Structure 1
Amino acid sequence: MPQQLAIIVLVDVGNALEMKTLDGNTYLFDNMRLHGSEGQGTGELVTAIHGSYWRDGSQASEQVLNWLPYSLGSIPPTVPRGYQADRARQTDQQALSELSAMVQKPPNAGTDATTQLTHIQQTIGTRVRSTKRTRGPAAQKVLDVTGNVISYDGSAAHSYPPPVITDVYGEAVDKKIMYPAEYGSPDMVTDGWYWSATVDSTRPGTYGYTMAIQLHRLLLQGGDWTWEPVDLTCESKIRISSEPKRNAFTKSGLGLLPIPPA
């Protein structure tokens, strides 16, 4: 059965958009640190991949890579997938309740209608218009890093949508070392889509590859706030080693366990 290797792609989206590069703003992790991976927590990750073969030289097992992109300083990825939609509905209902109460009774002493309407407007928050250019978020409200809906004015701190991997290519793909593809999954954390690749572990060596990553910048266009897509790239490597298939107990060739007779 293929071994599943996970690679976390953690992006400082705010700095990456400001600097217009992922260099120095991307932190890569995998679950093979104890097996030889190097550069954990940096942009220079080299993922260790242990290949194995049978006595006749044929491949014993495949290795599978899974890339999971996350945004640094945004809403945690562990919240439910429909979290933003739920928060938007809650603020709409709250604003309608406050507006209904305002209509049914006069403003409180010392509080005019303009002040109350301003408060309701802040409760509603800012809705972002969807565009056809982005593969990321659809029409939604702007949230801060704590998950609260905010009325965005261009200066307030807000939560960025998670990065979106749009392609995986480069040396490892050109040499047919790995075969990447995008898959759908019911996993609520990965939002239904993730990139995965099967690796040919019969060809030892170090190979580079490139990830095309799409970030989103909040931009005011024609009086509407929109998520503008920004496409950047990130480099990484895999290192494949190969050794004969062994018995996990005896560390020798496959066969019967050395259990002495009773």
Structure 2
Amino acid sequence: MPQQLAIIVLVDVGNALESNSLDGNTYLFDNMKLHGSTNQGTGELVTAVHGSYWRDGSQASEQVLNWLPYSLGSIPPTVPRGYEVERARQSDEQALAELQDLAAKSTVPSADAAAELSRIRRNVGTRVKTTRRTRGRMSGQKIVDVTGQVVTEDSAGAASYPAPVITDIYGEAVDAKIIYPAEYGSPDMVTDGWYWAASVDTSRPGTYSYTMRIQLHKLAQTNGEVRWEPVNLTCSSSVRITSEPRRNAFTKAGIGPLPIPPAPRPGQGT
């Protein structure tokens, strides 16, 4: 059965958007550190992939890579899926309660009432304009910060950026037919039901580079409307494939019958 290898792509979205580059703003990790992966936690990860072959030279098994992108400095993906929607609903309920309280206190328009109404409007927050280029979870939602508070005109906290989105994987490893990447559907709600994976041809040892095209989103205001505008950047990584004969862990030889231990002598136990 193929072994599943996970690669975490952690992006400092705020700095990446400011510098318009993923260089120095991407941190890659995988679960093969004890098997030889190097440069963990940097943008130059080299993932160790152990291949093996039978004694006749044929490929024994292949491996599978899985890429999981996350945003540094945003709301963790482990919170309940409806968290941001719930926080927006709470801000609406608070605004309605304040409006009812204002109406009960004053039946005659005044400068104080107008100022209070303006404050309430500012604290309601801003919804992101829905566009065809905006992915589903970001459409029509309010903007929240990393603490889950709705971002308003009076807020000092930065907005929580949407998770990075891998849109393509290409380069030397793909051109040489070492990895076969594709986007797959998944019931995993953390990744919005989509993730990138690739089977690896482990019969050809060597180090091969590949490039990920990653889409980030930044807030942009156009004609009084706030939108999440896509920004496409790239970062590179590598896989290092090693190969050795597949061995029986008991006999240290090829795959075959398991050794049968001799029967214990009388008095030596069972």
Task: Say yes or no: does 1:175 pair with 2:213.
Answer: no
CA distance in 1, matches of 2:67, 2:132: 25
TM-score of the two chains, using structure 1 as the length reference: 0.92
Cross-structure match for 2:35: 35
CA distance in 1, matches of 2:60, 2:112: 76
Q: Which moved more, 1:25-34 or 1:89-98?
A: 89-98
- Residues 122-150 of structure 1, C-alpha deviation per residue, up to 9 Å, x if partnerless? 44211111222344732211111111111
CA distance in 2, matches of 1:229, 1:17: 10
Contact map agreement 1:13 1:72 (CA 8 A) in 2: yes
Cross-structure match for 2:161: 160
Aligned to 1:141, the other structure's residue is in SS state coil
Q: Mark the CA change 1:48 to 1:5 in structure 2 (over 3 Å): closer, same or farther.
A: same
Greater Rg over alpha carbons, structure = 2
CA distance in 2, matches of 1:6, 1:44: 16
Cross-structure match for 2:125: 125
CA distance in 2, matches of 1:180, 1:139: 32
CA offset at residue 188 of structure 1? 2.1
Gaps of 5+ in 2: 264-270
Cross-structure match for 1:231: 232
Cross-structure match for 1:74: 74
CA distance in 1, matches of 2:14, 2:112: 38
Count how many residue pairs are aligned between Structure 1 and Structure 2.
259
What fraction of aligned residue pairs are identical, expressed as a percent?
Answer: 72
Contact map agreement 2:68 2:195 (CA 8 A) in 1: yes
Contact map agreement 1:121 1:151 (CA 8 A) in 2: no
Contact map agreement 1:216 1:227 (CA 8 A) in 2: yes
Cross-structure match for 1:23: 23
Cross-structure match for 2:5: 5
TM-score of the two chains, using structure 2 as the length reference: 0.89
Aligned to 1:140, the other structure's residue is in SS state coil
Cross-structure match for 2:59: 59
CA distance in 1, matches of 2:172, 2:62: 19
Two-structure CA RMSD over aligned residues (Å): 2.0
Query: For residue 41 of structure 1, what is the amino acid of its counterpart?
Result: G
